[in-house]
Amino acid sequence: MIGAAPGAIIAAGGGAVAAVGGGVGAVGGIVESAANVVDAGAQFVVSGKLPNMVGIATSYAERMVMSKIDKLTKLIPGMGKKQAPTANKKSPENDKKLPTPDKPKPVGDGVKVVGNGSDGDCGIKPYKDQKCPKGQDAHHIVPDYALRYGNRKNAQARIPGMPSQADGPSICLTGNHQGKNSEHNQAHEATDPKIAAAGQRTDNGPNGLATMGEILDISTDEVGKVKPHCKEEIKKKVDEAFKGVDRNKYGRTTQALPKGDAQGSLSRGDTHDAGDSGIKRKKGRK
């Protein structure tokens, strides 16, 4: 009976606490209150000391309230489960790839600048002024040997009235004249044999010579085939450079230095006359 009274008090306290908890959740409060009351009664029986009922009630109330708050927050949009950040989330619009701008084409070696043959973009200049890019050489459009009867270093051994080696019209061509399949080599391989063949004919002067008109035509035509887009400009620049030259004047057609009659004709600046008696004709012609 002595333990019944305190037990009743404890039960009453537990009921009060259960009532407080019931305001938030009745079922959970009743179960936990009963457990607390049993524990408190057992402590009283063993020690004879009355447990701290206020502390038990307060602790219980705090746990119940926090439990319910947690449940309620889960029902509120945006406060339940943590949502994955959307800042970097891809949308169908973001998935669309923007057009990639075209890469600039490199300018320099390997790029052929196409011109219209009339605005100077083919770079035809006097040989002395020609500055070719890396991998290209300046090429005399009209072979310089055709304009002299001596070697290249002898400025005095030039046919009268012809442009100097430095003033001859030139163009930049890839490679050198010995480089197989280079533009420079193609120009020489096409031009030199045809000029030589003209000097072997019997209708245009002494052996090893041909008229400058024929030499100029062969030169501009063949270099124009190597640089088709520059053909018109090539002819224009060559005509300007040889404007004061008589097209009937003799030019040299051989790689080797001329001798005899051929050298004499070139040094004097002789011209071809179709009605000539044969003095200036090629050997073998009477």
Residue 183: inside a domain: yes
List phi, psi (to 5°) of 49. -100, 140
Residue 111: inside a domain: no
Residues 161 and 240 in one domain: yes
Residues 179 and 257 in one domain: yes
Residues 145 and 235 in one domain: yes
Residues 148 and 218 in one domain: yes
Residue 283: inside a domain: no
pLDDT digits (tens, 9 = 90+) for 243-269: 999 999 999 999 999 999 999 999 999
Residues 143 and 66 in one domain: no
**Whole-number percent of the chain with pLDDT over 70:** 53
Residue 91: inside a domain: no
Q: How many domains does the chain have?
A: 2
Calculate the dihedral angle through the C-alpha atoms of 167, 170, 174, 179, rounding to the nearest 10 degrees: -70
Q: Could you list the residue range(s) of the whole structural domain that residue 173 is in?
A: 125-268
Q: Residue 240's pLDDT is what? A: 97
Separation between Cα atoms, residue 150 and residue 104, nearest integer Å: 50
Residue 70: inside a domain: yes
The answer to whether residue 182 scores a pLDDT higher than 70 is: yes
Q: Residue 48's pLDDT is what? A: 60
Separation between Cα atoms, residue 239 and residue 224, nearest integer Å: 14
Residues 65 and 139 in one domain: no
Residues 260 and 129 in one domain: yes
Residues 129 and 192 in one domain: yes
Residue 31: inside a domain: yes
Residue 208: inside a domain: yes
Residues 263 and 129 in one domain: yes
Q: What is the pTM of this model?
A: 0.56
Rounded average pLDDT over 62-85: 63
Residue 277: inside a domain: no
